[in-house]
Structure 1
């Protein structure tokens, strides 16, 4: 019998600046596909056809335990990939003690900065939602998923799932 790997600790970096002791929580991106039902002649049921990434895109939400000028100064950045965030997590199995390194690297820009309640003598939190054009999931040094929306790249476990489509359209 085995026990699952659980997140034991994490850190967030914004353009290389560590948020150790400042980052309170991170909601990692949800990866979605846009699937549309299709049922044609001679089919006994509907099949969901994959039309690419989901319409809601890729977003990461993160909360800091106070004021941060780095994120504030990035607000309204004109480059769609202008902000680089890296989340690093340590997940551990309690039956073996084995630790795995999990990283999520994204590029994008802040869609929302919520300054929260400003009440003297109470906790201060700021929540940021960053919409991403780039996503990479790395586990123990292996790139598991890489998505680059601007460059038409979608790689899973080393398989470039858009290579044939890029070739077919001459890019």
Structure 2
């Protein structure tokens, strides 16, 4: 019998600034593809064609306690990859005690900063939505997924999924 790896602890960094004791929640980006159904002559049903990454984009949502001037000062930057966030997680199996490191690095800009409710004597937190042009998932030192939308890079477990397309268009 085996038990699943569960998140035991985490930290979030914004341009190398640690949010230890400040980060409350992090919603890691959803990986999604844009698929279009195609049903041609002689087909008994549709087959979805992969048209690239989803139109919803890559987003990371994070909630901090208190006020954070680092993120506020990054708001409205003009570069699509100006802010770098790194989430580090420790996942552990309770049957073996084995700990794995999981890391997600994104670059992008903050689309929304929600300051939430302000009430004296109550919890103060704000939620930030960062839209990303770059994403990398690393588990125990192995790069599992790397997406660089601006540079036409899409790698999964070392396989360059866009190599033939870049070759076809002369890149």
Q: Normalised by the shorter chain, which TM-score bucket?
A: over 0.9
1:9-48 equivalences under 5 Å are 9-48=9-48
Structure 1 length normalisation: TM-score?
A: 0.99
1:98-137 equivalences under 5 Å are 98-137=98-137
Q: Tell me by how many angstroms 1:28 deviates.
A: 0.3
Report the 3-state secondary structure (helix = DSSP H, G, I; strand = E; otherwise coil) of the residue aligned with 1:70: helix
Report the 3-state secondary structure (helix = DSSP H, G, I; strand = E; otherwise coil) of the residue aligned with 2:132: strand
Residue 138 of structure 2 is aligned to residue 138 of structure 1: yes
Once the two structures are superposed, what CA deviation does each residue of 1:133-152 show, in whole Å capped at 9, x if it has no partner?
00000000000000000000
Once the two structures are superposed, what CA deviation does each residue of 1:83-103 show, in whole Å capped at 9, x if it has no partner?
000000000000000000000
Residues in 2 aligned to 1:66 and 1:144: alpha-carbon distance in whole angstroms: 34
Residues in 2 aligned to 1:128 and 1:12: alpha-carbon distance in whole angstroms: 13
Q: Tell me by how many angstroms 1:81 deviates.
A: 0.2
Report the 3-state secondary structure (helix = DSSP H, G, I; strand = E; otherwise coil) of the residue aligned with 2:150: helix
Structure 2 length normalisation: TM-score?
A: 0.99
Once the two structures are superposed, what CA deviation does each residue of 1:13-43 show, in whole Å capped at 9, x if it has no partner?
0000000000000000000000010011121
1:70-109 equivalences under 5 Å are 70-109=70-109
Q: Tell me by how many angstroms 1:48 deviates.
A: 0.5
Report the 3-state secondary structure (helix = DSSP H, G, I; strand = E; otherwise coil) of the residue aligned with 1:165: helix
Residues in 2 aligned to 1:162 and 1:119: alpha-carbon distance in whole angstroms: 50
Q: How many residues align?
A: 171
| Segments ≥4 residues shifted beyond 4 Å | none
Residues in 1 aligned to 2:14 and 2:157: alpha-carbon distance in whole angstroms: 26
Residue aligning to 1:161: 161
Q: Tell me by how many angstroms 1:45 deviates.
A: 1.3
Residues in 2 aligned to 1:3 and 1:159: alpha-carbon distance in whole angstroms: 29
Q: Structure 2: any 5+ residue segments left out of the alignment?
A: none
Residue aligning to 2:62: 62
